[in-house]
Structure 1
């Protein structure tokens, strides 16, 4: 597996990855915001995973506008490649990148009930659950890592 910086050449593959995860992991209404993100908000911090010459995952990191938090953005693995360790490998890469790029920040991820357990295992805590927050049947879990206790 290789991690590559995102380029517009990967846009179609990333959209296909997104679509493979609808409607369980992403609501149909989230597709256009994802496309807009790819077109306008990448900021040099978005990546793809290549496995056997195929783009199988995409995701990035971000810093909030106020600079107080950083986090994981639009991370996903093609549905045909779930449960193969790609998500774990790629998420650990992105968390390490957060720690190097934005040390001593609180890290966040907004995810669903389907993947909250995955992020719990990586050190995130659930801060808030918003029923149907991403769409009908897809609850929004706001999760953070590095909170002061």
Structure 2
């Protein structure tokens, strides 16, 4: 497996990965937001995972200038590759990158009830739960982890 910087050549495959996670992990209404993100906000901080020549996951990092917090953005693994360790590998890569690029910050992730446990295992704490925060049946879990200096 290799982690590569995102380029527009990966856009369609990232959209397929997103769609493979609908409707349980992502709501249909979020698809347009994800496409706009890929078109405008990836900078140098979005990545894909290549396994056996296929793109199977994607995810990035960001810095929220308003709160001065770093975070994990739009992380996802193709549903056919869930529970294979790819998500763990990509998340660890992104957390290490956050520590390198934005050291000493609080890091956050907005996720759902379906993946909150995954982030709890990585040291995140639930700050807030917003019922139906992403869509009907998909609660929004605001989670943070403090990294210190």
Using the size of structure 2 for normalisation, the TM-score is: 0.97
Instruction: Give the aligned length.
Output: 148
Query: How far has the Cα of 1:67 moved from its partner?
Result: 5.7
Match of 2:64 in 1: 64
Which aligned pairs between 1:1-149 and structure 2 lie closer than 5 A? Answer: 1-66=1-66, 68-146=68-146
Residue deviations 1:27-77, cap 9 Å, x none? 000000000000011111000000000000000000002261000000000
Distance 2:24 2:91 in 1: 20
What are the ranges of 5 or more consecutive residues in structure 1 without an aligned counterpart? none
Distance 1:107 1:40 in 2: 22
Residue deviations 1:88-128, cap 9 Å, x none? 01100000000011000000000000000000000100000
Distance 1:59 1:147 in 2: 20
Distance 1:29 1:66 in 2: 25
What are the ranges of 5 or more consecutive residues in structure 2 without an aligned counterpart? none
Using the size of structure 1 for normalisation, the TM-score is: 0.97
Distance 1:91 1:147 in 2: 15
**Aligned-residue RMSD, C-alpha:** 1.1
Moved over 3 A (4+): none
1:91 is paired with a residue of what secondary structure? helix
